[in-house]
């Protein structure tokens, strides 16, 4: 009985240590989530304005032919940028985005298009390396605190691949797979095609204004589209960072609650074991006293 009690007490000590770690991780994530939300919210207006500017050039300048807006006749390769986390303790955050990327790869394969992964985040990089999947590019070390230079580095690599023919190792399309921050309790994976550019006509009331571009719409797009792609990627990095921290906070809170429930169960088990041990000791003492009394009376 004593060995069982010692085992339960060791488990209690282990669970208490785990609960302290998960509680600390939860508090750290809670302190960082507000700043991550503010950064993602602050980047929203610029992303919307640059998208509106590109839409104005493409949809209101008549016929325009630009490499970044022209669909390939027979696309054969597509770059898939996957945003994952550098650290764990965030529940199903990485599994969800990798599963979404796998679904996109299947859709591309049905079209006869080979998916080339470009991965940001150590978890995604390790996942692809473990399966011996060749990556077109990899970046890590900034998943929860991305900077603008990180988006610039990723954009440069993607546009360089997009500028090459598919036969020379280039790509015909660029897709972005990341996790959107909806709320503290909800984060969902999303897929967007970055290039070739998809323009949705806005249903505005009244006449559509006519623009004149100098020197030409093509030259304007040469300057705007790299900024557009970079802003979309940077906003996705910020959104993914906020989603990662929120997922980590939720996962650590759930782990802490589970540890506390396990502590209650183990405490009850320890009390039962201790009570059984005390009862056995009392029984042994009473039995010994009765035996001593009988031997004294017999003598």
CATH number for the domain harbouring residue 76: 3.40.1380.10
Q: How far is CA 192 from CA 13, 41, 198, in A?
A: 47, 19, 10
Model confidence at 124: pLDDT above 70: yes
Mean pLDDT across the chain: 86
CA-CA-CA-CA dihedral for 269, 272, 277, 283, to nearest 10: -160
β-bridge partners, 81: 118, 176
**Are 207 and 50 in contact, with CB atoms under 8 Å apart?**
no
CA pair distance 112, 101, nearest whole angstrom: 16
- Percentage of the chain modeled with pLDDT above 70: 91
269 belongs to a structural domain: no
Count of H-run helices and E-run strands, the chain: 5, 5
> Tell me: the pLDDT tens digits for 53-90?
777 777 665 566 666 777 777 889 999 999 999 998 89
Global pTM reads 0.83
Helix (H), strand (E) at residue 278: helix 217-298
Q: Residue 80 falls within a domain, yes or no? A: yes
CB of 119 closer than 8 Å to CB of 128: yes
In a domain, 1, yes or no: no
pLDDT of residue 218: 75
160: in domain:
yes
- In degrees rounded to 5, what are phi and psi of residue 119? -115, 135
pLDDT for residue 123 is more than 80: yes
Comparing 43-57, 141-155, 209-223, the range with the smallest average pLDDT is 209-223
Share of the chain above pLDDT 90, in %: 52
> Which pair of tokens denotes residue 207?
């006449």
pLDDT digits (tens, 9 = 90+) for 222-272: 788 888 899 999 999 999 999 999 999 999 999 999 999 999 999 888 888
At residue 143, the pLDDT reads 93
Please check whether residue 206 is in contact with residue 78, taking contact to mean a CB–CB distance below 8 angstroms: no
134-185: pLDDT as tens digits: 999 999 999 999 999 999 999 999 999 998 888 888 999 999 999 999 888 8
Tokens representing 239 are: 């959104």
Mean pLDDT of 25-32: 90
Comparing 20 with 5, the larger pLDDT belongs to: 20
4 has pLDDT over 80: no
Is 19 within a domain? no
DSSP SS3 for 32: helix
Q: Is 220 inside a domain boundary? A: yes
Q: Is there a domain that residue 246 lies in?
A: yes
pLDDT of the residue at 205: 45
288 lies in some domain? no
Q: Nearest 5°: CA angle at 31, between 29 and 35? A: 100
Give the residue among 230, 239, 115, 229 at the shortest CA–CA distance from 182. 239
218: tokens are: 């093509």
- Residue 53's contacts (CB-CB under 8 Å, 6 or more residues apart) are 224, 228
Q: Which domain holds residue 148?
A: 26-201+210-252
Q: What is the pLDDT of residue 289?
A: 76
d(CA 119, CA 2) in angstroms, rounded, equals 53
Residue 8 has pLDDT above 90, yes or no: no
Three-state DSSP class for residue 169 = coil
Question: How many distinct structural domains can be found in the chain?
Answer: 1
């Amino acid at each position: 009985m004593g060995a069982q009690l010692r085992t339960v007490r060791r488990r209690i000590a282990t669970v208490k240590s785990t609960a302290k770690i998960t509680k600390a991780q939860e508090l750290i994530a809670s302190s960082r989530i507000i700043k991550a939300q503010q950064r993602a919210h602050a980047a929203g207006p610029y992303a919307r304005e640059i998208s509106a500017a590109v839409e104005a050039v493409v949809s209101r300048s008549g016929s325009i032919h630009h490499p970044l807006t022209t669909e390939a006749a027979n696309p054969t390769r597509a770059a898939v940028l996957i945003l994952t986390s550098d650290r764990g303790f965030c529940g199903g955050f990485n599994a969800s985005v990798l599963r979404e990327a796998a679904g996109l790869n299947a859709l591309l394969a049905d079209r006869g298009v080979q998916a080339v992964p470009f991965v940001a985040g150590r978890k995604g990089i390790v996942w692809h390396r473990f399966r011996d999947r060749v990556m077109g590019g990899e970046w890590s070390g900034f998943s929860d605190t991305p900077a603008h230079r990180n988006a610039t580095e990723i954009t440069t690599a993607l546009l360089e691949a997009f500028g090459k023919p598919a036969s020379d190792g280039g790509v015909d399309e660029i897709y972005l797979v990341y996790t959107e921050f909806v709320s503290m309790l909800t984060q969902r994976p999303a897929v967007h095609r970055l290039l070739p550019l998809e323009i949705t006509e806005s249903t505005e009331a009244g006449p559509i204004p006519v623009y004149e571009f100098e020197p030409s719409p093509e030259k304007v797009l040469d300057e705007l589209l790299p900024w557009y792609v970079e802003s979309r990627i940077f906003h996705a990095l910020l959104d993914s960072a906020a989603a990662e921290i929120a997922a980590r906070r939720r996962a650590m809170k759930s782990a802490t609650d589970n540890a506390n429930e396990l502590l209650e169960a183990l405490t009850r088990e320890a009390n039962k074991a201790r009570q059984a041990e005390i009862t056995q000791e009392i029984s042994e003492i009473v039995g010994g006293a009765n035996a001593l009394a009988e031997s004294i009376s017999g003598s």
